[in-house]
């Protein structure tokens, strides 16, 4: 959209020229954070929207475990646990003296209730897979819970630390969408729909006291407005700033702190593996040889992003660098295309959803593929169309999308998934990985799976989506990375 980028560049130019000096008022215990998307509701056990966790995870709600800023599992409502030798039986020791925000006491019954609710037939949990491995959840005594699994599950402790597995109270569970009641350090105060959500420190929280006493999440979707709101000091931070092209404005300004980290978003050139000519591995390999990741990251993301060679996050301890499986080599690519029967190349389409990584990235990829004779028609579509055409009906050649679920390499084991990658060897690897709990075994299998996908060039693997946050320079304790979706307020603090 020409107008859009035009208006943006004018705006940035003006922002440079109009030099501003504002004394940001020192708010010692209040914070205003900007978010691009408003959540549909506030119950993380009843929806997939990341915007829900971005407000309530670790703030309002807590699970048995929690994920820290490095992606490691930490105790939360469970202070410690033991695991049987066969990795089937877990015993969790619960924190005592904990109360929900409505004043009622937390105990093992709430844990049993929450898990059984998520496991139930009519559960609307977005990640039912987390709970499908559970055989039984049992109260041992008021501060001890036993969980028995159907089979050893390697990432069980991580999974129950996600927002989908938070502990709720029976009496209030059904109202959590509009009035969330949890055990976390912050309680829900108010939601002005379309505008903002306010949280306040909970007085009966047992645990480390929090420095920020009041947090307001403000919903700002327009990137230019986001810039102005930061510059004016109306907003103290944007955990995910919507305009990477403007980060320079903030990097050059001492009043701001730019935090660049990674997300769980593998951005890929998704390819229809059942549609000719993309069903031919030679064609996919030719594309892999043609893609210049650095040009895409520079052009589409203004340099923010880490190149990836497979469907795996680089910050994961089991990551292995596969970027050079098919190095950038146009001669080799043309050779492969000729071998596949397309010496002159061919025409195809690429469907691009709204995010700028897709729209800008699509243009760059189209110009790169043109060099080996593949002529792409760019088709801009919105998310509704994408879900319909690409995801549901698989009516596409290529598309660009960021897959943001943590550890989601398992989607390649589903032959009906929209890539339509149907490979029983890979399914066997995934099955084995799911049943392996020891770290060395999981590492070896993860390496193998990453290499497998890279070699088969199932999709074009582009880059790991960066998390580009902008904060007031006096604020500290924010997460740079996003191993899970959330904005943990508990460690945030204003400099004196």
Partner 1 sequence: MVGFFLRRIFGFILTIFIASLAIFLLLDILPGNPARFILGINASANSVNMLAEQMGLNQPIWQRFISWFLGLLVGDFGISHSQDISVFSLIIERLQITLPLAIFAMIIAVSIGLPIGIMAANRHGKISDSFLMMLAQTGVAIPNFWFGMLLVLLFSVTLGWLPTGGFTPWNENYLLSLKSLILPAIALALPQAAILARVMRTALIDVSHANYIRTAQAKGQTKKQAIWRHGVQNAMLPVLTILGLQFAFLIAGTIIVENVFYLPGLGKLIFTAISERDLILVRGALIVLVIAVTFIMLIIDLLYALVDPRLRLRGKQ
Which one among 225, 349, 356, 432 touches partner 1, defined by CB under 8 A? Answer: 225
Is residue 121 close enough to count as binding partner 1 by CB under 8 A? no
Kindly tell me which residue out of 148, 383, 428, 439 binds partner 1, with binding defined by CB under 8 A: 383
- Cβ proximity to partner 1: between 57 and 113 the closer is 57
Nearest to partner 1 of 179, 324 (CB atom): 179
- The residue among 280, 294, 303 whose CA lies nearest residue 323 is 294
Q: Does the protein bind partner 1 through residue 18 (CB under 8 A)?
A: yes
For residues 126 and 107, what is the distance between their CA atoms, to the nearest angstrom? 25
Rounded Cα gap, residues 93 and 392, in angstroms: 43
Q: Is 5 in the site for partner 1 (CB under 8 A)?
A: no
Query: Taking CB under 8 A as the rule, does residue 224 contact partner 1?
Result: yes
Residue 22 interacts with partner 1 (CB under 8 A)? yes
Query: Least distance from C-beta 224 to partner 1, angstroms?
Result: 6
Confirm or reject binding of residue 2 to partner 1 (CB under 8 A).
Answer: no
Q: Does 13 bind partner 1 (CB under 8 A)?
A: no
* Residue 75 binds to partner 1 (criterion: CB under 8 A): no
Q: Under the criterion CB under 8 A, does residue 16 sit at the interface with partner 1?
A: no
User: Least distance (Å) from partner 1 to the CB of residue 349?
Assistant: 16
Q: How many residues bind partner 1 (CB under 8 A)?
A: 44
Which of the stretches 75-83, 194-202, 444-452, 454-462 binds partner 1 when contact is defined by CB under 8 A?
Answer: 194-202
- If binding is defined by CB under 8 A, does position 356 make contact with partner 1? no
Query: Nearer Cβ to partner 1, position 195 or 204?
Result: 195
389 near partner 1, rule: CB under 8 A = yes
The backbone torsions φ and ψ at residue 151, rounded to the nearest 5 degrees and listed phi first, read -150, 160
The site map against partner 1 for 230-259 (x = CB under 8 A) is: -xxxx-------------------------
Joined tokens for residue 307 = 């190149």
Q: Candidates 385, 420, 432, 476: give the one binding partner 1 (CB under 8 A).
A: 385
Closer residue to partner 1 (CB): 59 or 125: 125
Residue 15 interacting with partner 1 (CB under 8 A)? yes
Question: Using the rule CB under 8 A, is 343 a contact of partner 1?
Answer: no
14 lies in the site for partner 1, by CB under 8 A: yes
Least CB distance to partner 1 at residue 389 (A): 7
Instruction: Return the number of the residue (404 or 435) whose C-beta is nearest partner 1.
Output: 404
The nearer residue to partner 1, 11 or 115, going by C-beta atoms, is: 11
Min CB(288)–partner 1 separation in Å = 25
Q: Note whether 229 binds partner 1 by CB under 8 A.
A: yes
Residue 384 interacts with partner 1 (CB under 8 A): yes or no: yes
The answer to whether 197 contacts partner 1 (rule: CB under 8 A) is no
In this structure, are strands 493-494 and 475-476 parallel, antiparallel, or unpaired? Answer: antiparallel
Q: Is 270 a binder of partner 1 (CB under 8 A)?
A: no
Considering beta carbons, is residue 295 or 404 the nearer one to partner 1?
A: 404
174 in contact with partner 1 (CB under 8 A)? no
d(CA 277, CA 346): 9
Q: What is the 3-state secondary structure (H, E, C) of the chain?
A: CHHHHHHHHHHHHHHHHCCCCCCCCCCCCEEEEEECCCCCCCCHHHCCCHHHHHHHECCCECCCEEECCCCCEEECCEEEEEECCCCCEEEEEECCCCECCCCCECCHHHHHHHHHHHHCCCCCCCCHHHHHCEEEEEEEECCEEEEEECCCCCCHHHHCCCHHHCCCCCCCHHHCCCCCCCCCCEEEEEEECCCEEEEEECCCCCCCCCCCCEEEEEECCCHHHHHHHHHCCCCCEECCCCCHHHHHHHHCCCCEEEEEEEEEEEEEEEECCCCCCCCCHHHHHHHHHHCCHHHHHHHHHCCCCEECCCCCCCCCCCCCCCCCCCCCCHHHHHHHHHHCCCCCCEEEEEEECCCHHHHHHHHHHHHHHHCCCEEEEEEECCHHHHHHHHHHCCCCCEEEEEECCCCCHHHHHCCCCCCCCCCHHHHHHHHHHHHCCCHHHHHHHHHHHHHHHHHHCCCEEEEEEEEEEEEECCEECCCCCCCCCCCCCCCCEECC
Where does this chain bind partner 1 (CB under 8 A)? Answer: 7, 10-11, 14-15, 18, 20, 22, 38, 40-41, 47-49, 126-127, 177, 192-196, 218-222, 224-225, 228-229, 231-234, 382-385, 387-389, 391-392
């Amino acid at each position: 959209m020409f107008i859009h980028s035009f208006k943006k560049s004018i705006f940035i130019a003006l922002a440079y020229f109009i030099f501003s000096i504002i004394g940001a008022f020192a708010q010692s215990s209040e914070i205003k954070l900007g978010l691009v998307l408003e959540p549909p509701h506030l119950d993380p056990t009843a929806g997939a929207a990341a915007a829900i966790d971005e407000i309530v995870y670790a703030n309002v709600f807590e699970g048995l475990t929690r994920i820290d800023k490095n992606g490691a599992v930490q105790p939360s409502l469970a202070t410690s646990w033991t695991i049987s030798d066969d990795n089937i039986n877990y015993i969790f020791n619960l924190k005592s003296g904990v109360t929900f925000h409505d004043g009622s006491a937390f105990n093992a019954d709430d844990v049993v209730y929450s898990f059984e609710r998520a496991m139930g037939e009519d559960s609307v949990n977005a990640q039912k897979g987390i709970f499908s491995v559970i055989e039984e959840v049992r109260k041992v005594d008021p501060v001890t819970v036993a969980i028995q699994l159907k089979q050893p599950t390697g990432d069980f402790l991580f999974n129950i630390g996600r927002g989908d597995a938070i502990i709720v109270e029976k009496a209030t569970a059904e109202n959590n969408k509009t009035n969330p009641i949890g055990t976390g350090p912050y309680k829900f105060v108010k939601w002005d729909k379309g505008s903002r959500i306010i949280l306040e420190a909970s007085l009966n929280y047992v645990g480390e006291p929090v420095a920020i006493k009041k947090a307001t999440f403000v919903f700002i979707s327009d990137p230019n407005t986001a810039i102005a709101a930061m510059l004016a000091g109306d907003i103290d931070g944007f955990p995910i700033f919507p305009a990477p092209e403007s980060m320079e404005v903030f990097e050059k300004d001492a009043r701001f702190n730019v935090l660049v980290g990674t997300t769980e978003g593998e951005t890929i050139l998704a390819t229809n593996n059942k549609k000719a000519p993309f069903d031919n591995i030679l064609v996919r390999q030719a594309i892999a040889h043609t893609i210049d990741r650095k040009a895409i990251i520079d052009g589409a993301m203004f340099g923010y992003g880490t190149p990836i060679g497979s469907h795996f996050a680089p910050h994961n301890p089991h990551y292995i660098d596969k970027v050079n499986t098919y190095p950038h080599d146009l001669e080799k690519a043309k050779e492969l295309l000729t071998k596949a029967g397309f010496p002159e190349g061919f025409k195809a389409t690429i469907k691009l959803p709204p995010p700028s990584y897709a729209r800008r990235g699509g243009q760059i990829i189209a110009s790169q593929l043109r060099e080996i004779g593949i002529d792409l028609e760019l088709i801009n579509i919105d998310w509704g169309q994408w879900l319909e055409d690409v995801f549901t009906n698989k009516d596409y050649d290529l598309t660009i999308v960021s897959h943001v679920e943590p550890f989601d390499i398992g989607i390649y084991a589903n032959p009906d998934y929209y890539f339509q990658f149907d490979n029983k060897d890979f399914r066997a690897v995934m099955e084995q990985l799911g049943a392996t709990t020891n770290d060395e075994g999981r590492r070896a299998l993860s390496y193998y799976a990453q290499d497998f996908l890279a070699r088969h060039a199932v999709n074009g693997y582009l880059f790991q989506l960066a998390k580009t946050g902008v904060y007031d320079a006096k604020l500290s304790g924010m997460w740079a990375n996003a191993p899970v979706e959330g904005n943990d307020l508990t460690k945030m603090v204003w400099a004196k």
